[in-house]
């Protein structure tokens, strides 16, 4: 089964209430929320007060992506919002198992995130501990970057690693996800697709519902 997460950071920040209504009409499955600390990535985004108001105004489950150093600190900061998922980057975490358990202790599902250049071996020891993995197809920090095609090879390796697992973690992909890149990602095992500027929050014709349905049609074609 395939799901769509809308990257709310790419939406109109002065009209978030309107954006949330349109995303609900489009029936997206998750609201992907990028938290950036200006250190792990060279950008700042989405503090707890903003996400608290978003949480109050939508029924779409939150998928919080911590693009931060010191993940443990930010887990404690955002856990009170009770999102469905919190992801953190293995590249900066010195206590991965401990932070996985911390997230679970809050009743939230933990997700491990890796950058395009990071090897799959970094998450291999933890595959059975998490329900989902976030594979970045661009470097986190800014929208509109070019898709890293070499990540497709990583997805092939990852899919082979989890194919024999009883409880297979979902594979979420984020970064220039659109009608051009989705088919190859589906074929390599991706399940959850984060839509941002290139597929959803752009000035191309069509409503959010129409754009989301265009991606869902690709899901259906891949099932045939």
Q: Is 174 a catalytic residue?
A: yes
The backbone torsions φ and ψ at residue 76, rounded to the nearest 5 degrees and listed phi first, read -65, -35
Active-site choice (29, 63, 76, 174): 174
Active-site choice (12, 29, 34, 76): 34
Q: Is 34 a catalytic residue?
A: yes
* Spatial distance between the Cα atoms of 131 and 139, rounded to a whole number of angstroms: 23
* Spatial distance between the Cα atoms of 145 and 88, rounded to a whole number of angstroms: 21
The set of catalytic residues is: 34, 174
């Amino acid at each position: 089964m395939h799901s769509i997460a809308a990257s709310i950071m790419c939406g109109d920040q002065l009209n978030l209430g309107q954006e949330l209504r349109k995303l609900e009409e489009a029936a997206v499955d998750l609201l992907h929320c990028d938290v950036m600390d200006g250190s792990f990535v060279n950008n700042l985004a989405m503090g707890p007060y903003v996400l608290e108001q978003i949480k109050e105004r939508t029924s779409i489950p939150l998928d919080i992506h911590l693009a931060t150093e010191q993940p443990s600190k930010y887990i404690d900061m955002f856990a009170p919002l009770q999102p469905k998922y919190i992801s953190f980057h293995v590249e900066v975490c010195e206590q991965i198992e401990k932070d996985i358990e911390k997230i679970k202790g809050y009743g939230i599902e933990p997700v491990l995130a890796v950058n395009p250049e990071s090897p799959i071996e970094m998450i291999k020891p933890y595959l059975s501990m998490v329900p989902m993995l976030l594979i970045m197809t661009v470097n986190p920090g800014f929208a509109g970057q070019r898709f890293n095609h070499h990540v497709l090879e990583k997805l092939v390796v990852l899919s082979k690693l989890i194919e024999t697992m009883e409880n297979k973690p979902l594979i979420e992909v984020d970064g220039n996800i659109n009608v051009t890149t989705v088919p190859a990602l589906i074929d390599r095992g991706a399940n959850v697709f984060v839509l941002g500027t290139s597929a959803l929050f752009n000035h191309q014709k069509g409503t959010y519902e129409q754009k989301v349905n265009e991606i869902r049609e690709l899901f259906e074609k891949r099932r045939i």
